[in-house]
Amino acid sequence: MTRSRQPARAAVRIERSGDIRLRNVHVNAESGFATCDEGGCATFLRASKFPFENALLDVTHGLEVREREFAVLDVPANPVAPAAATVPVAKLADGFFSASGGVVDAQGKLYFIDHFRQRIHGWSEAEGLTTERDAPLDPVNLAMDRAGNLIVLSSLGRNGTVYAFKPGTSAQTLTVIPPTAVPTTPVADRLTALPGNLWVNGEFRSQLDPATYRFTTLAAMFARDVALPKAQEYVSPDGTLAIPAYRVFQQGPADHLGWRFSDTLDAYGLVTAKAGGRVFLSNESEDRTYSARLAAGGAVTDLQPFADRGGESVAAGPDGRVYIANGQVFVYDTAGRPIDRIDVPERPLQLLFGGKDRRTLYILTHHALYSARP
């Protein structure tokens, strides 16, 4: 299944069956796009944003397998449900199509996007669920500058569009941000917003070195690609945040009928860091999370493997722990050792810490918003 507008529930569905052996399972909405355009000839991988939500669904016993990569799984006739995690999860709102692309403001209020319905929502304890904007401008991901402007990455237009507005203002009030050249010297205290999850696996292109007869590893591909600086960036109105201008691949017209792909458009959310600072990134194709150092132009260097699990999102908590969305929410200490798990009724897409004390973990899924207090 490729080019899906939403995830299918499961790759494998079992009903009134047992003693089934599954081997070497790989579940993904893999689809590549090759083109030659004004940027040259290239390929973009994982043009589909939504893989199967689960690898396996046991309808009879109400069990799901959310791991998308495994070598061995034997399904008995009467499987035993795993022990539940101890951290309680509360549903805050539902009825969404695909909720992600979120950001938290200085007061801890959450903003996020339901991309299919082209709505930007807000949520806070005081206000509950609100609709900030519902204009048909194809919003995908959000960031926020120090002045409180929401920076919106949109898929509308040949190379996408970035615009800004102040929450609470008229729907007709917005500022389109043009791309500008990346300065040769990093701007002090400026945050750069990067895709929190990436997919780099080199398909549709030869990865064989004829001199050594060795294939480039997934780790080497990832390190090579993320180290490339971008020539342009989108700078927020107050100058405190920039989004690197990743190459955008287009199939079809530049309006709502066409498809556009890029690392930032395909990400479930953006993460920020200052030049020289460290940031956590997920390489989904390798199923691994890295700690990395941010350089100029959005380049990422000094990659250090952090956890042998990488999924849709990764968030550093105020307690120093690291939270990884990969079917459930997996919790790691500062050394990358697994220490806990938070079970969510649906597959998590993005994790953000917010609330007044910044200790509430907001969990965005396709259809609902959850919270936890780990």
List, for residues 102-141, the tens digit of each pLDDT value: 999 999 999 999 988 999 999 999 999 999 999 999 999 9
Q: How many CB atoms lie within 10 A of CB 202?
A: 19
The residue that leads in pLDDT, 207 or 146, is: 146
- State whether 65 and 185 are in the same domain: no
Q: What is the CATH number of the domain that holds 274?
A: 2.120.10.30
Residues whose CB falls within 8 Å of the CB of residue 177, separated by 6 or more in sequence, listed in order: 151, 162, 163, 164, 234, 235, 236, 237
Going by pLDDT thresholds of 50, 70 and 90, the confidence category of residue 348 is very high
- The count of domains in the chain is 2
Residues 175 and 299 in one domain: yes
CB 165 within 8 A of CB 133: yes
User: Within this chain, do residues 38 and 133 fall inside the same structural domain, yes or no?
Assistant: no
* Cα 74 from Cα 299, distance rounded (Å): 43
Asked which of 33-47, 120-134, 270-284, 334-348 is least confident by mean pLDDT, the reply is: 33-47
Residues 37 and 131 in one domain: no
113 shares a domain with 64: no
Task: Tell me phi and psi for residue 306, to 5 degrees.
Answer: -105, -45
Residue type, 326: N
Separation of alpha carbons 259 and 360, rounded Å:
35
Residue 83 resides in a domain: no
pLDDT of 6 reads 66
Last residue of some domain: 75, 108, 129? Answer: 75
Answer yes or no: do 357 and 276 share one domain. Answer: yes
Give the range of the structural domain holding residue 194, as residue numbers without chain letter.
Answer: 89-372
Are 351 and 271 in contact by the 8 Å Cβ rule? The answer is no
Same domain, 159 and 112: yes
Given pLDDT bands bounded at 50, 70 and 90, which one contains residue 26?
A: confident
Q: Residue 4 falls within a domain, yes or no?
A: no
In a domain, 80, yes or no: no
Q: CA 215 → CA 42, 84, 153, 210, 283, distances in Å?
A: 19, 41, 35, 9, 18
Per-residue pLDDT band at 269 (split at 50, 70, 90): very high
* Contact call for residues 347 and 327 (beta carbons, < 8 A): yes
The pLDDT, as a whole number, for residue 130 is: 98
- What are the φ and ψ backbone dihedral angles of 296, each rounded to 5 degrees? -65, 150
Mean pLDDT of the chain: 93
Q: Are residues 116 and 167 in the same domain?
A: yes
**Least confident piece of the model among 10-19, 236-245, 304-313, 363-372:** 10-19
Determine the Cα–Cα distance for residues 246 and 319; give it in Å rounded to an integer.
32
Q: Which residues contact 38 (CB under 8 A, 6 or more apart)?
A: none
Rounded Cα distance, 39 and 133, in Å = 33
Phi then psi for residue 165, to 5 deg, are: -155, 160
The pair of structure tokens assigned to 144 is 């926020």
Shared-domain flag, residues 109 and 141: yes
Lowest mean pLDDT among 8-22, 39-53, 238-252: 39-53
State the Cα–Cα distance between residues 234 and 274, nearest whole angstrom. Answer: 15
In this structure, the answer to whether residues 141 and 48 fall within a common structural domain is no
Burial class (CB in 10 A: 0-12, 13-18, 19+), 341: middle
**Sheet containing 89-94: which strands, arranged edge to edge?**
89-94, 368-372, 360-365, 348-354
Instruction: Looking at the structure, tell me whether residues 156 and 233 fall in a common domain.
Output: yes
Residue 11: band (very low, low, confident or very high) from pLDDT cuts 50, 70, 90 = confident
Is 56 found in the same domain as 14?
yes
Residue 2 lies in a domain: no
